[in-house]
Amino acid sequence: MIIFFTIIGCIYLFSYLNKKTHFLARLFLNKNEQDYLHLFYTRNFSYYNLLDTDEKTKFIIRVINIRERNQLNISPEIKNRNSDIELLICAAFAQITFGYDDYEITSFNKIIINPNTFYSKLANHQVKGLTIGTGYIFYSWIDFLRGYKNKSDRINLALHELAHALYIDRFHNTENENWDSWETNANYVLKKDNNTLPEFFRTYGKTNLNEFWAVTVECFFEDPINFKKQYAYFYDATATILRQDMAERMLQKAG
């Protein structure tokens, strides 16, 4: 009986450690794969370079897990760049949920990659990206890359669509004090200056609160220092709900 409870206790302990610190994943992480991913993200993903050494290891482990648990359907036209495409898409997932212990966006595991803009029957026009509540995220690959190429224009297709997915997965129709706080601050900003959206946030965000959320997430990751300077309370509400402080990360890196 003692042996039985000891085994059960060990299973729970290992499960807890794995969830909180990726203990098991660290034990079995392939060194060559880790080195390759470290080099790839150092060269190709600016967010990765804002992380400390332990966070980089956590990021890589998460990318591997996200890659294994999501279905990526890549257009044959760009299939020859399959490896880089998968790594960048999974990195975007890891970026937006990096502050969470439960970092999977479980409601969305089907990602469709088109070479360019594509026609959407739902929107009835050409689009760059689309998030559908049935679990699908669609991207134009050229626009996905453009979002990360220009790091300060406050436009990032990957993060925009993932923000929609995160909202549906975590906050839609649920009781969440952090979301309520964010929504209160968002409505204040939206109603400021006679309903004219402040210049910092692009006009598309005024479409509805969901689009403003996605536009805000873009600003949070792309221009966090100015975001915090101009809208401190709203920035703090966004940082709280995403569980990370991008302005602080960038200031530490600059210092």
d(CA 67, CA 64) in angstroms, rounded, equals 5
Across the range 67-76, mean pLDDT stands at: 91
18 pLDDT above the threshold of 50: no
Q: What is the mean pLDDT of residues 201-230?
A: 94
Confidence of residue 59 (pLDDT cuts 50, 70, 90): very high
Is residue 1 scored above 60 in pLDDT? Answer: no
Q: What mean pLDDT comes out for the span 79-100?
A: 91
Distances (CA, A) of 8 to 11, 13, 14, 16, 28: 5, 9, 10, 12, 22
pLDDT confidence bin for 16, thresholds 50/70/90:
very low
pLDDT of residue 157: 97
Instruction: Tell me the one-letter amino acid at 139.
Output: Y
Q: How far apart are CA 148 and CA 135, in angstroms?
A: 24
Which amino acid belongs to residue 28?
F
What whole-number distance in Å separates Cα of residue 97 and Cα of residue 58?
A: 12
| Averaged pLDDT score across all residues of the chain | 87
Average pLDDT, integer, range 220-234: 96
| Model pLDDT for residues 143-200, shown as the tens digit of each residue | 999 999 988 899 999 999 999 999 999 999 888 999 999 999 999 998 875 556 668 8
Helix (H, G, I), strand (E, B) or coil at 159: helix
- Confidence (pLDDT) at 123: 80
pLDDT at 210 over 90: yes
